[in-house]
Amino acid sequence: MRRPIVAGNWKMNLAVQEGRDLAEKIKASCGNWNAVEVVLCPVYTSLSAVGQILADSSISLGAQNLFWEPSGAYTGEVSPLMLRDVGCRYVIIGHSERRTYFGETDETVKRKFQSALKHGLKPIVCIGETLKEREANQTFAVLERQLAGAFTDASAADADKLVIAYEPVWAIGTGKTATPDQAQEAHAFIRKWLVGKWSAETAAKIRLQYGGSVTADNAATLMGQTDVDGALVGGASLKADAFTAIVRAALEAKTVAA
């Protein structure tokens, strides 16, 4: 049984004190719900402050990005060792906003993924098609290319640390969510690819999150799908009540299914 994982991607929002306040509220509501893994991913400048709040809870700290080198002359970048230093356990890699606005490619995603693993961070690798690609029936081809790009050199031993977030680009921040069937179809495709890459046993361990306009209202049906093991939440993760409701939906969907 895969432990569901719900991550809040705060993106470029919330100053330090606002981040502290939100983390306190989320800790108070679901800081000891061990059946679901909860991860909060604030901006770099709030990692330390939020990490201190989460330290005595079951909630993990995650970053939204990293650079693959451990240190050196890379102005403006942050290394995996530095993320570990402030208490991060997770890191989001290859989010579509990074691919679209900051020129990240399958190659940079691969390097970041490998570096995260090498330095003891669990990667949440994001993949997903644009609307144009979906309409051109390219969804599976795009997912396949992104999976192959990220995981060419990955070994089965890395699999249990890996989380993959399926985030259709057309659903991110748009209020347009994939239907539960669309999400399940894509997740099943990803799972099958992982079986081919490694084995059925290994693929069964890897957690697949859905991301893209997840809300308190649609979380339960999305999470009710066999291959949807959690959610990567943007907008709704900025409100303690909405985020807590999503975590609860994951808990209930997966507990009932068990």
Q: Could you list the residues that contact ligand PGA (CB under 6 A)?
A: 9, 167, 172-173, 211-214, 232-236
CB of 92 to ligand PGA, least distance (A): 8
Nearer of residues 202 and 237 to ligand PGA, judged by Cβ = 237
| Residue pair 59/26 in contact by the 8 Å Cβ criterion | yes
Q: Indicate the length of the chain as a whole number.
A: 258
Identity at 239, one-letter amino acid code: K
Q: Is the CB of 172 or the CB of 198 nearer to ligand PGA?
A: 172
| Known catalytic membership, residue 104 | no
Nearer of residues 183 and 202 to ligand PGA, judged by Cβ: 183
Distance CA(128)–CA(213), nearest Å, equals 14
Q: CA 202 from chain center: how many Å?
A: 19
- In the complex, the smallest distance separating the C-beta of residue 195 from ligand PGA, rounded to whole angstroms, is 26
95 flagged as catalytic: yes
Q: State how far the Cα of 92 lies from the Cα of 228, in Å rounded to an integer.
A: 18
CB of 71 to ligand PGA, least distance (A): 28
Identity of the residue, 151 or 170, whose beta carbon is nearer to ligand PGA in the bound complex: 170
Tell me 64's DSSP state. Answer: S
| Residue 31 CB neighbour total at 10 angstroms | 18
Smallest distance, ligand PGA to C-beta of residue 10, A: 10
Interaxial angle between packed helices 16-30 and 240-257, expressed in degrees from 0 to 180 and rounded to the nearest 10:
30
Select which of 37, 129, 133, 167 is catalytic. Answer: 167
Catalytic residue annotation: 95, 167
